[in-house]
Amino acid sequence: MSLIPKEIVDQVLNQADITEVVGDFVSLKKKGQNMWACCPFHHEKSPSFSVSPAKGIYKCFGCGKAGNSVQFIMDVEGTSFPEAIKYLAKKYSIDIPEEQHDPEYAREQSERDSLFIVSDFAAKHFQQRLTSHEQGSIGQSYLKQRGLSGNTIRKFELGYSLDEWTDLTDTALKAGYQQKYLEATGLTIVREDNKKYDRFRGRVMFPIHNVSGRVVGFGARTLKSNDKKSPKYLNSPESDIYHKSNVLYGLFQAKQAMRMQDMCYMVEGYLDVLSLNQGGIENVVASSGTSLTEGQIKLISRYTQNITVLYDGDAAGIKASLRGIDLILELGLNVNVVTFPEGEDPDSYIHKVGDAAFKTYLKEHSQDFISFKTSLFAKESAGNPVRKAEAIKEVVASIAKIPDAIKRTVFFRSCSLIFDIDEQVLISEYNKMHLEGRQQQRPGNPEPNYAAPAPAPEPEKPASDADVLKRYEREVIRMMISYGTKAVDENQTVIQYMLEQLEDVELEIPIYVKLHNRILQQFQQGYVVKGEDLVNDPDEEIRSEVIELISNRYDLSHNWETHQIYVPNEEDLLMYGIERAILRLKRMKVQMLLKTEMEKLRLVTDPGEQDRQLNYILNLKAFENQLGEMLGIVVNK
């Protein structure tokens, strides 16, 4: 079910100008046919990020990110396809009508909107109380004492809730907001006797934003030092717009910097986020008290794969939170760790040593998590063999979470050095653990009992059959979507010719099978699919593959531009290229078939069957030679 009508999507795609869309985020300079900038997705000093206004796409030659306007917004803002369409619709003042076919959805949407609206009202109310109410000075002096500037207070929209029972509730109701939404967001608490009062009273307010910057809830710190009954920090309860496990404090303000620095600093408290941000470290977020969830890690991974956890507290506190880090490893992200001197947290420490020294400290004390954990356990278990065995288990359990085999190998090595034991001990511990894990998952299912870390890849491994096949299938599909409408002769288009030629060839790589089917279907309905159309296909897999395929030509012209050399236009040699692409693919298929049939021959014992099989193979061999000759390959007969 598409939530945005197709006409709107088309309208957005038609109106969105790639240079305007990208230009909102980076400053583009014209050079030749294209516009260039430093890439917003990876850190670089000279521009390798290009935008082609003619093709409506962008491509980075440094990190490989590529796509159209919608993809750009999805990448840069970390949003879904519909969210990106909404963003662009707003930019180009295109109205998205309320969903008419699904009144239930529309109702839910407007309920959610009401929650957003009332939260926004509350945030503004608290801000106003902080800056303009006489009681606000209590909040202001607290924030000042914590070293926060007016700029930081405004940037994070901090506020103050008066130490009164119904200040917010009364103001909101008077302004026309409905009680049910105040209640649903937890801002107002309604007792059984229908008495209403504010949840947050006499507290500094920290609004919590979602990724797109809307207020979804609040964290609040009490300023009543004599109040022993209520907690120091109080949070909004979960609501339809606020799910703690999917929100990170500061993410909205940090996301741009996270992408640029390709790193996310993870801290514990609101004040850590604010102080670091004020000190020029903007790529910082807090999980605000809860232990890190999968949803939160996935949010971070939209912007970077690298997390550095800044720990305060003692060794015991750190050990308690180690499990949460395993989750980050499991999701394939890289984790580093920084600890602070006894009694310091990031907030106190940056105020103590100053911004510059703090940044240096982070650089110098950043350590990869596995080595950190290993050292921590190695120190503790020194001289105690039983504890050492336990410690090894602990560390191997973390390494086992890392999905990447090469990374695992590296960690086994460094870990064996720290523990001063043979790497093989760690690996067999890992194998044991891995095996147990598998058996638990699927009892009775004999899995291969091998899971040693893979050796480093050999530098010049010959391409496997599968790789070659993929390349050839890819080339055939690329030709179809790039030149389908061109004429072979008066009677035939390229697409017709190619589909005919490939009639007896079965593609194998799933994405190309999918694309081939799409092309064939459309052709049977009288359309020729073009790459430019598929760039907007609802299927994500098709979209990204096609972008890769059509930006290939783009690579070529980029080379040509930078090296000033002449590359014959592919279209000049079109028929030649198409013929060869088809022949190469066919020959590869025959070669692979030959291999399987040769294998079969070895297993055949019946003499008559042997003869037949041999004949079949000889015929295939002849066909292979024929195809080779057509390709101009010298063949040994």
Strand partners, 543: none
Nearer to Zn ion, 38 or 509 (CB): 38
- Closest to 245 (Cα-Cα) out of 164, 299, 207, 191: 299
Residues 323-342 that bind Zn ion (CB under 5 A): none
Answer yes or no: are the C-beta atoms of 533 and 546 closer than 8 Å.
Answer: no
- Can you tell me the distance from the alpha carbon of 401 to that of 47, in angstroms, rounded to the nearest whole number? 37
Answer yes or no: are the C-beta atoms of 265 and 275 closer than 8 Å.
Answer: no
Q: Which of 16, 26, 36, 41 is the binder for Zn ion (CB under 5 A)? A: 41
Of 52-60, 130-138, 237-245, 526-534, the segment contacting Zn ion by CB under 5 A is 52-60
Nearer to Zn ion, 39 or 208 (CB): 39
x/- binding map, residues 287-306, to Zn ion, per CB under 5 A? --------------------
Nearer to Zn ion, 59 or 516 (CB): 59
Of 31-39, 259-267, 427-435, 599-607, the segment contacting Zn ion by CB under 5 A is 31-39
Answer yes or no: are the C-beta atoms of 294 and 327 closer than 8 Å.
Answer: yes
- How big is the site for Zn ion, counted in residues (CB under 5 A)? 6
Of 34-42, 113-121, 225-233, 273-281, the segment contacting Zn ion by CB under 5 A is 34-42
- Can you tell me the distance from the alpha carbon of 317 to that of 320, in angstroms, rounded to the nearest whole number? 5
Q: Which of 21, 60, 427, 546 is the binder for Zn ion (CB under 5 A)? A: 60
Nearer to Zn ion, 42 or 224 (CB): 42
Of 37-45, 94-102, 117-125, 464-472, the segment contacting Zn ion by CB under 5 A is 37-45
Q: Work out the angle at residue 464's Cα, subtended by the Cα atoms of residues 460 and 465, and round it to the nearest 5 degrees.
A: 155
- Can you tell me the distance from the alpha carbon of 304 to that of 334, in angstroms, rounded to the nearest whole number? 10
Q: Which of 42, 401, 486, 621 is the binder for Zn ion (CB under 5 A)? A: 42
Q: Minimum CB separation from Zn ion for residue 44, in Å?
A: 7
Q: Minimum CB separation from Zn ion for residue 312, in Å?
A: 34
Q: Minimum CB separation from Zn ion for residue 38, in Å?
A: 9
Q: Which of 21, 39, 300, 480 is the binder for Zn ion (CB under 5 A)? A: 39
- Closest to 600 (Cα-Cα) out of 612, 586, 585, 590: 612
Q: Minimum CB separation from Zn ion for residue 42, in Å?
A: 4
635 secondary structure, DSSP code: -
Q: By CB under 5 A, is residue 369 in contact with Zn ion?
A: no
- Closest to 323 (Cα-Cα) out of 377, 375, 264, 398: 398
Q: Minimum CB separation from Zn ion for residue 564, in Å?
A: 24
Q: Is 312 exposed, middle or buried (0-12, 13-18, 19+ CB in 10 A)?
A: buried
Q: Minimum CB separation from Zn ion for residue 59, in Å?
A: 9
- The bridge status of strand 49-52 relative to strand 34-37 is antiparallel
Cα 346 versus chain centre, distance: 27
Phi/psi at 217 (5° precision): -175, -175
Q: By CB under 5 A, is residue 82 in contact with Zn ion?
A: no
Answer yes or no: are the C-beta atoms of 32 and 561 closer than 8 Å.
Answer: yes
Q: By CB under 5 A, is residue 63 in contact with Zn ion?
A: yes
- Helices (H), strands (E): how many in the chain? 26, 18
Nearer to Zn ion, 77 or 272 (CB): 77
Q: Minimum CB separation from Zn ion for residue 623, in Å?
A: 45
- Closest to 449 (Cα-Cα) out of 475, 476, 431: 431
Q: By CB under 5 A, is residue 53 in contact with Zn ion?
A: no
Q: Minimum CB separation from Zn ion for residue 48, in Å?
A: 7
Nearer to Zn ion, 58 or 181 (CB): 58
Q: Minimum CB separation from Zn ion for residue 22, in Å?
A: 12
Structure tokens at 324: 């949460």
Q: Minimum CB separation from Zn ion for residue 65, in Å?
A: 5
- Can you tell me the distance from the alpha carbon of 539 to that of 290, in angstroms, rounded to the nearest whole number? 36
Q: By CB under 5 A, is residue 593 in contact with Zn ion?
A: no
Q: Minimum CB separation from Zn ion for residue 61, in Å?
A: 8
Question: Which distant-in-sequence residues (6+ apart) come within 8 Å of 103 by Cβ?
Answer: none
Nearer to Zn ion, 301 or 501 (CB): 301
Q: Work out the angle at residue 405's Cα, subtended by the Cα atoms of residues 402 and 411, and round it to the nearest 5 degrees.
A: 65
Q: By CB under 5 A, is residue 38 in contact with Zn ion?
A: no
Q: Minimum CB separation from Zn ion for residue 634, in Å?
A: 43
- Closest to 52 (Cα-Cα) out of 72, 26, 71, 34: 34
Q: Minimum CB separation from Zn ion for residue 54, in Å?
A: 21
Q: Minimum CB separation from Zn ion for residue 63, in Å?
A: 3
HEC string of 168-236 equals HHHHHHHCCCCHHHHHHCCCEEECCCCCEEECCCCEEEEEEECCCCCEEEEEEEECCCCCCCCCCEEEC
- Can you tell me the distance from the alpha carbon of 347 to that of 276, in angstroms, rounded to the nearest whole number? 7
- Can you tell me the distance from the alpha carbon of 613 to that of 367, in angstroms, rounded to the nearest whole number? 61
Nearer to Zn ion, 321 or 544 (CB): 544
Strand partners, 208: 217
Q: By CB under 5 A, is residue 62 in contact with Zn ion?
A: yes
Q: By CB under 5 A, is residue 37 in contact with Zn ion?
A: no
Amino acid at 492: Q
Chain residues in the site for Zn ion (CB under 5 A): 39, 41-42, 60, 62-63
